Amino acid sequence: MIKEASFFDQKSSLTDTSSLRAKRLFSLADHQKHHKRNQGGRPIKELIEKLERNHGLSKEEYIRLLSGLDGEARTLLAEKATVLRKRHYGNDIYIRGLIEFTSFCKNDCLYCGLRASNKNAQRYRLSKEEILDCCQQGHELGFRTFVLQGGEDPHYTDEILVDITKTIKKDFPDCAITLSLGERSRESLAALREAGADRYLLRHETANKKHYELLHPKGMSFEKRMQQLWDMKELGYQIGCGFMVGSPGQSTECLADDLVFVQRLKPHMVGIGPFIPHKDTPFRAEPQGDLDLTLALLGIIRLILPQALIPSTTALGTIDPWGREKGVLAGANVVMPNLSPVGVRKKYMLYDNKICTGEEAAECKHCLHGRMQRIGCGIAVSRGDPAGYRLEEAALAD
Ligand code: SF4
């Protein structure tokens, strides 16, 4: 069933089915862990309430909050995040059609299966026609946002990408285009925006310079990455940043830096997911990120940015069979079914055991539709702009 946008009645938030399910899922998770009781007692509850009120905390407060998370605190975060999600988006979950169009990459990020030095990676590129076929199929299935994602592949020059972007906009004028192409020059970003790209996702990965340098090879610049996010905002994109939870070397302080950065940047989208190792990278033996911590961070981000678009990622679904449902119940409101041709899916392996690599696009959408329905949500057919975005644009134009 495709649901129309509905306005959330705040009073029903604590008794409706998805909130109850949130409580159940979180309490199940609690039994599996031995958190110190009371670390998340009164002071942590007060911090969460302060965050809810002010949509921000200091770095020290984030460190205290993250250090004191227990089951009770995580449940409270999920409940408050759900109230905000519903206030702005009702029970609608937005879908983005993900088109992974190139697995070539010139970079060598230490955590990524597509890194240039991974000689075992299988490489492919989709032609313009293949990308348009994905869009056509997606449009018929009800997708109104296409996410063009790939490694940093010099084959796709500005000229090629501008042409692809313009053609998608011409053929599918009711759709938004999101680009996720890594780092590009300001000129390139401006040309793509001019061609019709609406949104740009660039995970900053970590807002801590030392940590960034641990995750990336020499030659990649922390400052450049962060600057691009500000540039994209200036150029009028709806922007998305994001980070991995549990990446090697990540401390609580690093996560607090991420939260302060998100609070300052105020992106329209925030994509976070657990770190999952890839067997052909230097981090092959590192442990994966923690599910509960990822869910708590989704809730915290919803409290910082109540209107943000927050995906419940494939990586969450990879580390837990109900990961995407839990992500939504923790505060997320976007899912990204794969529209890439089935023949190439297994070649786009950012991390090991990635799910949804064998199904057709229709199956993927159907599966996610069922999953969202089971937690009381519905897939919306719309571009899925952030709540208030049109108002924001209008205000800028005045
Ligand atoms: S994370 Fe992105 S830029 Fe880095 S190696 Fe992987 S695909 Fe390339």
State pLDDT tens for residues 342-367: 888 888 888 888 878 777 878 888 89
The H-assigned helical ranges of 196-251 are 209-215, 222-234
Give the pLDDT band (50/70/90) at residue 36: very low
Ligand 1 atom nearest the C-alpha of 112 is: 6
> Measured between alpha carbons, how far is 306 from 315 in angstroms, rounded to an integer?
23
User: Quick one: average pLDDT of 321-333?
Assistant: 97
- Measured by CA distance, the residue closest to atom 4 of ligand 1 is 109
Which tens digits make up the pLDDT trace of 262-278?
999 999 999 999 999 99
Looking at the chain, the whole-number percentage of residues with pLDDT higher than 90 is 79
pLDDT at residue 162, as a whole number? 98
The contacts of residue 393 (CB under 8 Å, 6+ apart) are none
CB 356 within 8 A of CB 320: no
Cα angle, residue 240 at apex, residues 252 and 133 outer, rounded to 5°: 130
Which tens digits make up the pLDDT trace of 160-215?
999 999 999 999 999 999 999 999 999 999 999 999 999 999 999 999 999 999 99
107 lines ligand 1 (CB under 6 A): yes
What residue ranges do the domains of the chain occupy? 10-87, 91-397
Neighbours of 345 (CB within 10 A): 17
User: Quick one: average pLDDT of 98-122?
Assistant: 97
105 lines ligand 1 (CB under 6 A): yes
Q: Which of 56-60, 162-166, 201-205, 334-338 has the lowest mean pLDDT?
A: 334-338
pLDDT at residue 362, as a whole number? 82
Ligand 1 atom nearest the C-alpha of 114 is: 6
CB 337 within 8 A of CB 365: yes
Q: Which of 123, 126, 122 is nearest to 99 (CA)?
A: 126
pTM of the entire structure?
Answer: 0.88
CB 86 within 8 A of CB 11: no
Place of tokens 């069979």: 321
CATH class of the 91-397 domain in this structure: alpha beta
Strands 378-380 and 199-201: unpaired
Give the pLDDT band (50/70/90) at residue 381: confident
CB 296 within 8 A of CB 330: yes
- Measured by CA distance, the residue closest to atom 7 of ligand 1 is 151
Arithmetic mean of pLDDT over the chain: 88
Cα angle, residue 136 at apex, residues 134 and 137 outer, rounded to 5°: 65
Q: How far is the CA of 152 from the centre of ligand 1 (A)?
A: 7
pLDDT at residue 267, as a whole number? 98
For the CA atoms of 323, 325, 327, 332, the dihedral, rounded to the nearest 10 degrees, stands at: 150
How long, in residues, is the chain?
Answer: 398
